[in-house]
Amino acid sequence: MIQDPLRAGFGERLTAKVAERGPLCVGIDPHPSLLHAWDLDETPASLERFAMTVVEALAGEVAVLKPQSAFFECYGSAGVAVLERVLREAQAAGALVLLDVKRGDIGSTMTAYAMAYLDEHSPVSVDAITVSPYLGYGSLAPAIGIAEQNARGVFVLARTSNPEGMGLQQAVHGSGDSVAQSIVDSAAETNQGKSPLGHVGVVAGATIPAGELDFSGLNGPILAPGLGAQGATLKDLKAVFGRALPNVLPTTSRDVLRHGPGGLREATTRIKHDLALMLNA
């Protein structure tokens, strides 16, 4: 596969979309508790109604939509069929789609995962995916390469918002830095020389301590889960990410989805407005 030189890379496409719509990323997480809160049952038909309501309300409004693949996969082939429709229609409405799959493996298996999600001919092709580097950052080479060839992106788990990850991610790497910092630095090496941003982003929770990680050399996007229901605030974003804040994609799911089908757009508009005020302050 040879990348079309006339096709914009992921970093360029993301930068343009954020300039147009703001940096907010909204998750599509059809968790059973949310289905029930919407008076829906746990069936493929309800899954489709939930997910497509979010797409119809928000795919024309936000820069990035982030479906959580597991909540579709658990319904088997019927759920994957719903996911395919979600991806297709979200992209048609202008949103970039980041599929939260957290794939991580080696060799041909990592290549197969990358082809499944990052090749334009795949039925579940998306703009970017989340990947796990905990078999070594080098194990992600197939995904990173295929993403670049197809003008797609990857977001590498670095310092996640769940407390269970702290022990591993804060452990000291052979470089003397934390494991999380070594992942950020490895992504930075991949992104060197790319403009306006490289295609390798990192995932760093908005709930982590301020100053724990140095993003100054990353030259890539930062997916920041934890806004809203997990406790992070807009003020936390500024404290945690500092000068890297312009490259941050603040991510929320439940804080928007809990408002139900009639309140999605209003809740999203409010968060986007507050984000814009904070970024321009």
- The reported pLDDT for the residue numbered 4 is 47
Residue 231 scores a pLDDT above 80? no
- The reported pLDDT for the residue numbered 175 is 83
**Where does the pLDDT of residue 15 fall: very low under 50, low under 70, confident under 90, or very high at 90 and above?**
very high
Beta-sheet strands, E only, within the chain = 25-28, 64-67, 96-103, 128-131, 153-159, 200-204, 222-224, 248-252
- In 3D, which of 90, 79, 66 has the Cα closest to residue 32? 79
Which of the residue ranges 12-16, 122-126, 160-164, 271-275 would you say has the lowest mean pLDDT?
A: 160-164
Q: What is the mean pLDDT of residues 21-30?
A: 97
Q: What is the mean pLDDT of residues 79-100?
A: 98
Q: Rounded to an integer, what distance in angstroms lies between the CA atom of residue 205 and that of residue 209?
A: 9
DSSP state of 232: B
- The reported pLDDT for the residue numbered 126 is 98
| Residue 167 structure tokens | 């022990």
235 is known as an active-site residue: no
- The reported pLDDT for the residue numbered 2 is 35
Residues 6+ apart with CB under 8 A from 10: 127, 128, 147, 151, 152, 153, 199
pLDDT in tens, 59-78: 999 999 999 999 999 999 99
Mean pLDDT of all residues in the chain?
94
Judged by DSSP in three states, 278 sits in helix
pLDDT in tens, 157-169: 999 888 888 888 8
Q: Which of 66, 102, 194, 272 is catalytic?
A: 102
